Amino acid sequence: MKNVFKLKNVSRISLDKHGDWVQFFIATDRRDQLQRASSIALLPESFLVSGERREQGIIASKKDGYGFLKCVEREPKIFFRYCEVLDVDREINVNDEVEFTVVQDSTLSFNAYSRQSAIRIQHLPPGTVQFEIVQERNVTGVVSKEAPNSWLPRSPTKIISNNQNQECGTISYQINGIKKTINYYAKDCDPKCAPHVGDKVEFSVCQVKRNKEIIALDIIILKSQNQHFNSTKNGITNQPVCQGFIAALKDGFGFIEAMSHNREVFFRFCNYEGDSDTLELGMEVEYVVGGKASSGSCISAEMVRTLPAGTINLGVTIGDDILEGKVVRPLRSVNPDQNEYAGLIKTNAEDENGAEYEFGITSLANKRELLQVKDSVQFQVDSNGRAANVVAIRKKRKATVDAIKGAFGFLAYEVDDGKKLFYHTSEVKDGVQLQQGDTVEFVLMYNHRTGKSSACNVTKVSPEKEQRPERLVSRLRTISLEDGGPKLTVARQPRGPDGTKGFATDMRMPRIAGVLVE
């Protein structure tokens, strides 16, 4: 039987307060025949009469039994425990929209912010939580200052808590004949096609709830100044078409290895004719050469499009001999400080006069491999005297998954002053969905560009059958049947009244407790 009542004086941890409206089952205890309330669930009406201040946010990260919420009206993230989620049957995921109450948590002692925790957490329908208030829509303007988008890939361990820690860009626009400017941030733009100085854009004027800052969101490029300049003045359509291979992919841009294998060409994702999410290292592409990149260090590519695999004929043959050596110079995509683009491998020799062979992205058997200096490799040599089919020989390490945060995961393996080693989900072999507690094997990599270590070639390890501890096995071997103490002796195997191994219902006979039936 299911009933709904308004209960007074209900006391149950932080889920039920005095005067809460709850839903419950009435259960009768078989031991004493008393009725009790069970499966108590809090009803939404409780928040209307409790007077508590409810806040909204999303689940920013989760770990084993706890997580952190990103709040609409607060800068710091709020700690919460899984047991505070009201819907106990629902799976907790990152980016879930929730409503909660913030209280002081006396069990935590990290700092003033950490002492606050969220309780009575209730899930909300998607699209309910809004971090900004839209004041005007479909406003047009021109980018007067470009928001710097770092060439370094975003690190999962570096969380920027507010926009004041980031350098902003500026958009100039007019409303009712009055010239105005508004700030925008690179993190709020599409990384595949970030706006640049001179671009005509459409945006929404919004106010951030937590700090009342006015910023531009929902930025759409209406007309790119760079594309217009290249197509009309440089005659880009008359430029020769070049071919190459995708050598590196970053946030919103990448590099193409030229056919000469000795230089790279810069390109932005907005100049790629297709979905940039489908780009992979080593892909064959064609492009036309534009002007200098914004850094001025290399030329840029326009009208980039992928080619079917095997379209580019390198015209080389690969020898049968397999050589061993060590990397003495990585690719420039790994170490941006070096002048040469191509990497260099030196064969193993008893003296120091081993042969040297250059390699590029096309030389790697695994295009995602980030070869470092002193890495041991096996390779072959092609007819042009370059290394081919380069395979790294690295030590495999083992650890367990400690936490998962969006596209990144963290392992119970400490590096860089006690920080947890992270990995990107694209590094997981066969696209396996890892969970907290899974055991994995990986290769430890250090990226000179970011200055951080990460796990690559992550492989889930199948759980082995749990073995008894050796000390228990040894103990069982030494136990003698002659030892003192109670013993259990099997007089006969179980058998039913009809001679079968089971007991039919109609064959059971009542007996007096404590009296054996002959």
pLDDT in tens, the chain (518 residues): 444 444 433 434 444 556 677 788 888 888 888 888 887 777 777 777 777 888 999 999 888 888 999 999 888 889 998 888 888 788 888 889 999 988 887 665 545 445 788 888 889 999 999 999 999 988 999 998 888 754 444 444 444 444 445 678 899 998 888 889 999 988 787 766 778 888 888 999 999 998 889 999 988 888 776 554 444 434 444 567 888 999 888 878 889 998 887 888 888 888 888 888 888 888 999 988 876 555 555 688 888 989 888 888 888 889 889 898 999 998 888 888 888 888 999 988 765 677 899 999 888 888 877 788 888 899 999 988 999 999 888 788 889 998 888 788 899 888 867 788 888 887 888 778 888 888 899 888 776 666 778 888 888 887 665 566 666 666 666 665 555 556 666 666 666 666 666 555 555 566 677 776 66
Find out if CATH 3.40.470.10 is the number for domain 318-392: no
Q: What is the pLDDT of residue 492?
A: 67
Q: Nearest CA to 314 among 282, 362, 360?
A: 362
CATH topology identical between 53-123 and 396-464: yes
Measured between alpha carbons, how far is 184 from 56 in angstroms, rounded to an integer? 24
Which CATH topology does 132-149+168-221 take? Answer: OB fold (Dihydrolipoamide Acetyltransferase, E2P) (2.40.50)
CA distances from 464 to 237, 442, 458, 467 (A): 60, 18, 18, 9
The CATH classification of domain 53-123, taken from the options 3.40.50.880, 3.40.30.10, 2.40.50.140, 2.60.40.10? 2.40.50.140
- What CATH code is assigned to 396-464? 2.40.50.140
CA 78 – CA 72 distance, rounded (Å): 11
Cα gap 117→101, rounded to integer Å = 8
The Cα–Cα gap between 389 and 380 comes to 6
pLDDT for the residue 473: 65
**pLDDT at position 387, please?**
92
pLDDT of residue 284: 92
Supply the pLDDT for residue 232: 40
Residue among 85, 93, 76, 74 at smallest CA distance from 42: 85
Sheet holding 376-381, edge to edge: 356-359, 343-347, 323-329, 376-381, 387-393
Q: Which CATH superfamily is domain 246-306 in?
A: Nucleic acid-binding proteins (2.40.50.140)
Q: Tell me how far apart the 2 most distant CA atoms of the chain are, in Å.
A: 110
* Per-domain residue ranges of the chain: 53-123, 132-149+168-221, 246-306, 318-392, 396-464
